[in-house]
Amino acid sequence: MLTLQSYLSLAAIIFSIGIIGIVINRKNIIIVMMCTELLLISVNFNFIAFSYFNQDIAGQIFVFFILTVAAAEAAIGLAILVALYRNKKSIDVHELRTLRN
């Protein structure tokens, strides 16, 4: 039987992978976006685990809102990424920093 601690440990591992992915690989913006999604998934996993073990549906409802926002963020982020790739011919984060000027 899996306990709440097992689910929280798995979510912590997924969250750590997301943080490590963002810190280590800052060149490819697609990997940074995927690691951000891993962070959101681990938080959702925590909400679902607590919701299940506390017999409260509020956490699961909150996950639907988070997934909706994450889907919109991913769609808008990929649209911006495609537009930047068409203009700059690269998805390297260091080259995209020239957009600040």
Q: Which domain holds residue 29?
A: 4-100
Q: What average pLDDT does the segment 80-99 reach?
A: 72
Which among 31, 27, 32, 30 is positioned nearest to 82, based on CA atoms?
A: 30
Which among 99, 77, 75, 76 is positioned nearest to 87, based on CA atoms?
A: 99
Report residue 93's pLDDT band, with 50, 70 and 90 as the boundaries. low
Number of domains in the chain: 1
User: Does 91 score more than 90 pLDDT?
Assistant: no
pLDDT at position 88: 74
Q: What are phi and psi of 92, to 5 degrees?
A: -70, 130
3-state helix, strand, coil in the chain (%, to 5): 85, 0, 15
Q: Between vectors from CA 50 to CA 45 and to CA 52, what angle results, nearest 5°?
A: 95
The predicted-structure confidence for 16-62, as pLDDT tens digits, reads as follows: 999 999 999 877 788 888 898 999 999 999 999 999 999 999 989 99
Question: Residue 13 is part of a domain; what is its CATH number?
Answer: 1.10.287.3510
Q: Report helix, strand or coil for 92.
A: strand
* More confident of the two residues 100 and 45: 45
User: Does 74 score more than 60 pLDDT?
Assistant: yes
User: Does 1 score more than 90 pLDDT?
Assistant: no
